[in-house]
Structure 1
Amino acid sequence: MTTALKTATANINDIPTEAELVQRARDMIPMLLEKAESVEKNRMVSPETIKAFVEAGFFRILQPARFGGYEMNPAVFYKVLMELGRGCGSSAWNMMILGVHQWEFGSLPDQACADVWGTDDRTIIASSYPPFGKVEEVEGGYQISGIWKTSSGCDHGAWAFLGGLRRDAQGNVIDRLSMLVPATDYEIEDDWHVFGLAGTGSKSLVVKGTFVPYHRVHSLIQYDKDDRGTHFLYPFNQIFFGSVSAVIVGMAQGGIDEYIRQMKVRTSTLDGSNASLSPYVKDRLGNAVVRVRSARARLLQMMAETTEIVERGELVPTYDRVHHMLDIARVGRDCEEAVMLLFKATSARGIYLSNPLQRILRDVIAASNHITQNADDTAGMLGAYLLGQQLPPMVFGLEPVSLND
């Protein structure tokens, strides 16, 4: 271990508690609310906000302890995201994307961690996992090129994980890869012009041709037991997909917060009475709350169940993983329905750009369109699995999987 790494490990004695981290996130909500409009207009989160997240220790929550991190249960990360999302969806989304990668390093050799954190354990990593580019296996690693789209928060990253397909000699896909490249190997193309989550700065990364050594590559699909610590034994899809859902829960809770603020003081245009006296205003609020609370509880219950498994040093069984995939994916739909319920009660006042609720709705709709929130296909996979049919390859393993496997 290098001197730099020894120093990083030695400085983690004063680790905050889960409660302290969640409170730090909660304390940031007023600041995030104040900046939310400017974040959207600027189409990116400010460096000052990212710095605040760094100083709060949020990027260390999932980072391996031997490289300066807290190596905490991912549920802590989820709870922090749920608070940040109440303030600004785009800012929380950046924290989610840029902060979940620290957990991913648990699937990589120490050399990859040293490449990134050897001199600065605060280095931030961006990503674009869809396999947009060309990947060719060569001696010692992979040669890659192409354009990787929707890299959220890429302006703040010094490295990026890029997705790619590994093929055999006949061109058949045999694995999905995550490949780590430094920012010096790509250019950022500013093409992020969207109606929701506009402030995430999810621009494209252009790679004209670079080499990625094997030690900076891992499979996104293969799920085997190795010498990883227990905190890194969760399936990749569970931790990454679940992080997306945690942010969406936070956004929807932010919608509830805003609705309550508005309806407490709003008056009816018919008779001047307080709008909160309307049974429909109250009914929509209650039904929105139960949807968001249910989504939150489902995510945290999933983490509680799988934590018991990985802390025994075991892998999460496929049966549980298939159920958890739908637990995660359904969050987007539940939260979208919740915020739409509230928005429809705001009538014409809700459509003004000055009304925060319309931005929250747009952000939740955009977030719910993320591939991790595809509840239709995921429900179909679970149903097929329980009926004894095979799951497709490249989702829960390299090969098709059935209930009897």
Structure 2
Amino acid sequence: MINEVLRAHAAAVEQNERPAPEGLAALRENGVFALRTPEAYGGAWADAETIARELTGLGRACPSTAWVAGTCVTSKNLAGRAFVAEEKPEFFADPDALFCGSGVPGGRGERVAEGVRVTGRWANVSGCEDADWALVAVMADGAFSFALVPTADLAVERTWTMAGMRGTGSHTLVADGVLVPAGRIVAAAPFALNDMMLFAMTVLGPVVGAAQGALDVVTAMFASDRKPFMTSYSRMGESPGARHWLADASYLVQRAETTMLAVAREASAGELSPVDGPRLRRALADAGRDCRAAVDLMLDLHGASGFDVSNPLQRFWRDVAVGSRHPHLNPYLAVENLGTALAG
């Protein structure tokens, strides 16, 4: 089972600051990297709800590996939208290839006879050490563009030093005059709201999964002979307060997942209005905050031992704390944008 593989290597993923080869192989074999490969090129082109469910399940075992899978979804979605070819392009020759990318225009392109020479730096590119292709934003001829570059043509600077999601290997990619053929660089079209919701799913899914993974740890504690220290209780479940905290934590995690899936279904159902987008982004930001609140309750239940480096609870806590603060889940901007949309 894929999650058994991910769970077995989760500690090593964090220690090595990149996904485990065994985990990547399992994802490839189970079609995870083909979730958003276009159907014409052998992929699933799965909808937002399917992707959210898949990434949540993976995040329950290893949030960092799930995050890398989500980055692959985002990058392949952009590639599938931006590059249209009558024949199968080389970057989709393998539907299970791992993609990484950055939508920040960190590079510039100079037109030459053979195509475009690209120079630049892109920070926070998750999975860049293991990916086959990188989709990076470039300013070419004054236009915001996307270029698809084999990662073998780029250098990696190991700059990712975060407290959480450490295993994503979100380092910096560097291009120094890399030649990109004309067929692999194109001016970017404006993002549709539906696509923006999909991008948010690729961030929130691993976070919700991480909260579920933390809940697994705490629920197992209730099934053990562990008791609240300095009490007369013989086990955790005897304490009404502990049961209350467990119920609240479980409810928050479930609410986060329910919210995420409801947004995914609505985003896939049809065109979104100018108010729908900010409203759904607010809902996703709230789901991220629910995950953080739930894990805080779980840490109260577990006590200080939950912060021992050998305890997976502290890893889930750090992954949720960092992942839920991605710009796609920014709560104060979500409120601001919704208010602006409602006020016209």
- Whether TM exceeds 0.5 here: the answer is yes
**Which residue does the alignment assign to 1:261?**
220
Quick check: 1:161 aligned with 2:135?
yes
**Pair 1:89-2:59 in alignment:** no
Report the more deviating stretch, 187-196 or 360-369: 187-196
Distance in 2 (alpha carbons) for counterparts of 1:202 and 1:377: 24
Is residue 2:198 matched to residue 1:239?
Answer: yes
1:80 aligned partner: 54
Matched, 1:354 2:310: yes
Q: Partner residue of 2:104?
A: 130
- Aligned residues, how many? 339
Say which of 92, 106, 114 aligns to 2:89. 114
Return the letter of the residue paired with 1:37. Answer: A
CA distance in 1, matches of 2:145, 2:336: 25
Give 1:279 deviation, angstroms: 2.2
In the TM superposition, 1:6-405 aligns within 5 A as 27-111=1-85, 114-118=89-93, 120-131=94-105, 133-136=106-109, 138=111, 143-164=117-138, 176-212=144-180, 213=182, 215-219=184-188, 221-223=190-192, 235-265=194-224, 266-270=226-230, 271=232, 273-309=234-270, 315-388=271-344
Q: Distance in 2 between matches of 1:374 and 1:137?
A: 35
Change (3 A) 1:278 1:183: same
Q: Deviations over 1:126-154 (max 9, x none)?
A: 112233x2424647975432221111111
Relative to structure 1, the CA distance from residue 218 to residue 328 in structure 2 (aligned partners, 3 Å threshold; closer, same or farther) is farther
- In structure 2, the residue matched to 1:398 is none
Q: How far does residue 269 in structure 1 lie from its aligned partner after superposition?
A: 2.4
Asked if the contact 1:44/1:199 (under 8 Å) is kept, the reply is yes
Residue 211 (structure 1) shift: 4.4
Quick one: which amino acid aligns to residue 286 of structure 2? R
Going from structure 1 to structure 2, the CA distance change for 1:281 and 1:28 (only over 3 Å counts) comes to farther
Q: Call closer, same or farther: CA 1:166–1:335 in 2, change over 3 Å.
A: farther
- What is the TM-score with the length of structure 1 in the denominator? 0.77
Deviation at 1:215, TM superposition (A): 4.9
Distance in 2 between residues matched to 1:37 and 1:93, nearest whole Å: 15
SS for the counterpart of 1:195 is: coil
Any idea what SS the aligned residue of 1:330 has?
helix
The superposition leaves residues 45-72 of structure 1 with CA deviations (integer Å, 9 ceiling, x where unpaired) of: 1122111111111122222111011223
Structure 1 residues 267 and 218: CA distance shift in structure 2, 3 A: farther
Other structure's SS at 1:206 match = strand
Instruction: Report the identity percentage.
Output: 29
Query: With structure 2 as the length reference, what TM-score do the two structures score?
Result: 0.90
Q: Cα gap change, 1:148/1:382 in structure 2, threshold over 3 Å: closer, same or farther?
A: same
CA distance in structure 2 between the aligned counterparts of 1:325 and 1:214, rounded to whole angstroms: 34
Question: How big is the shift at 1:339?
Answer: 0.7
Offset at 1:272? 5.2
Stretches of structure 2 lacking an aligned partner (at least 5 in a row): none
Partners of 2:278 and 2:183 lie apart in 1 by 30
Q: How far apart in 2 are the matches of 1:340 and 1:113?
A: 48
> Judging changes above 3 Å, is the alpha-carbon distance between structure 1 residues 61 and 215 closer, same or farther for their aligned structure 2 residues?
same
Structure-2 change in CA distance of 1:291 and 1:142 (3 Å):
farther
SS at match of 1:260: helix
When residues 272 and 235 of structure 1 are mapped into structure 2, their CA distance, relative to the original with a 3 A threshold, is closer
Consecutive unaligned residues in structure 1, runs of 5 or more = 1-26, 169-174, 224-233, 310-314, 389-405
Higher alpha-carbon deviation: 74-83 or 202-211: 202-211
* Aligned AA (2:313): L
CA contact (8 A) 1:160 1:182 kept: yes
- Range 148-157 or range 136-145, more displaced: 136-145
How has the CA–CA distance of structure 1 residues 375 and 166 changed in structure 2, closer, same or farther, with 3 Å as cutoff? Answer: farther
Instruction: Assess, with a 3 A threshold, how the Cα gap between structure 1 residues 354 and 382 changes in structure 2: closer, same or farther.
Output: same
Q: Residues 216, 316 of structure 1: CA spacing in aligned structure 2 closer, same or farther, 3 A cutoff?
A: farther
| CA distance, structure 2, for counterparts of residue 292 and residue 242 of structure 1 | 16
Indicate if the aligned counterparts of 2:72 and 2:98 stay in contact, CA closer than 8 A.
yes
